[in-house]
Amino acid sequence: MKAVTWQGKRDVRVDEVPDPKIQEPTDAVIRVTSSGLCGSDLHLYEVLTPFMTPGDILGHEPIGIVEEVGAEVTNLQPGDRVVVPFQISCGHCFMCSAGLQTQCETTQVTSEGMGAPLFGYTRLYGAVPGAQAEYLRVPQAQYGPMKIPEGPADDRFLYLSDVLPTAWQAVAYADVPQGGTVAVLGLGPIGDMACRIARARGAERVFGVDLVTERLTRARARGVETYDLRSFDSEKELVAAIQDETDGRGPDAVIDAVGTEAHGSAAARMVQQAAAVMPRAISGPIAERFSVDRLAALHTAIELVRRGGTISLSGVYGGMADPLPMLTLFDKQIQMRMGQANVRRWSDEIMPYLTDEDPLGVDGFATHHVPLSDAPHAYEMFQRKQDGAVKVVMRP
Ligand SMILES: NC(=O)c1ccc[n+]([C@@H]2O[C@H](COP(=O)([O-])OP(=O)(O)OC[C@H]3O[C@@H](n4cnc5c(N)ncnc54)[C@H](O)[C@@H]3O)[C@@H](O)[C@H]2O)c1
Ligand SMILES: [Zn+2]
Ligand SMILES: [Zn+2]
């Protein structure tokens, strides 16, 4: 079959690889019909290189048709249409029963000291072959895949694999009071969707921050009060501008949908590299005025949130020894919640929103649909934020 493979830093290719097969009685194999490209894939593309092996198959946002099931998968049959969570979890252990599927005790990657394995996501997360491919082996298929109705196009349900539950969890963890306010840092697919969900779930005002024109425009069109990082001289000014709108206090909650680049000791260099691939017009002025720091967005969140408010991190952080302003965190009595999204924890709550009325705008959420063979270009376009790319969906 054809699959998108990682070959090295900023080098992905479409290769011919062996078809996946059932290996365990709890496996299924699906034929992938659509597969998302995610901000998390960009971490692999550039800075998680040390944790990748050339030939690794990328991707973790699949929807498709069941081809074959193992003997213990009684809930699915060949021909069923399914969307598959980005994490692999068993559904019956202590953690899964508590709605913490990313911490599944049956599947944890204990050799690396990590939680549940993820499709297409480094050896830290089990080196599981990913979903940007024609076929996908799905372990723990007795639990993970969600059956979805025939009819609507893939995009209606595709985002149940990652974007929707991630944004949903970001909003749930942010714990915005009814009629309250929330600021969302980063308006990529996750931040954009978090804004939509926050509004749908009763936040009175949603402030969105980014530095890419198309992303700001998209959010503004859905009622988000947007702030362009490029138009402020310092982080302090940005924080002051949003605090002015909230009686000087700051929003009840801040969602960080930016994240950072995971790192070892070479963190600063890695962030510089990430800045280096952004268009000069963006990276130059920003680097001058804002700390090009792997924790930049988190520091902004800490300054911005009101006293006693909540910070919800969905952007991925990977540092092991990052200094944080503990005095401010403690004195402001800030609550922080974070983690990979527990997909099946939220999926039943999200499903009623995936209707013809389309309150979250999933049907038109993707900016680009491309064949799998265009993956190398798609990665480059998405990383450089070219051509208005916000969400790219590949069609094997
Ligand atoms: N927790 C989870 O389960 C989970 C799931 C999916 C993605 N993620 C993570 O969420 C993050 C966002 O994902 P995405 O797909 O939306 O990616 P993305 O890279 O498209 O979005 C990040 C956005 O942040 C903006 N940005 C950069 N610096 C900023 C700053 N200082 N202030 C405000 N905005 C800034 C960028 O312009 C970009 O639009 C990534 O770190 C990704 O790995 C987490
Ligand atoms: Zn993703
Ligand atoms: Zn489990």
Residue 267 has pLDDT above 60, yes or no: no
* Average pLDDT value over all residues in the chain: 91
Amino acid 323: pLDDT = 81
Residue 262 has pLDDT above 80, yes or no: no
Residue 360 has pLDDT above 60, yes or no: yes
Q: Which atom of ligand 1 is nearest to the CA of 102?
A: 3
Indicate the length of the chain as a whole number. Answer: 396
Residue nearest to atom 35 of ligand 1 (CA): 186
Quickly count: other Cβ atoms within 10 Å of residue 276's Cβ: 11
Amino acid 270: pLDDT = 45
Q: Where are the domains of the chain?
A: 2-162+342-395, 164-338
**Mean per-residue pLDDT, 113-139:** 96
Q: What percent of the chain has pLDDT over 70?
A: 91
Q: Which atom of ligand 1 is nearest to the CA of 314?
A: 1
| pLDDT tens digits along 84-104 | 999 999 999 999 999 999 999
Find out if CATH 3.40.50.720 is the number for domain 164-338. Answer: yes
Q: Is 340 in the pocket of ligand 1 (CB under 6 A)?
A: yes
| pLDDT tens digits along 303-335 | 999 999 999 999 887 777 678 899 999 999 999
Amino acid 50: pLDDT = 81
Amino acid 264: pLDDT = 28
Amino acid 318: pLDDT = 73
If pLDDT is split at 50, 70 and 90, which confidence band does 296 have?
confident
Amino acid 284: pLDDT = 44
Closest ligand to the CA of 26:
3
Amino acid 288: pLDDT = 40
Q: What is the CATH number of domain 2-162+342-395?
A: 3.90.180.10
Q: Is 297 in the pocket of ligand 1 (CB under 6 A)?
A: yes
Closest ligand to the CA of 168:
1
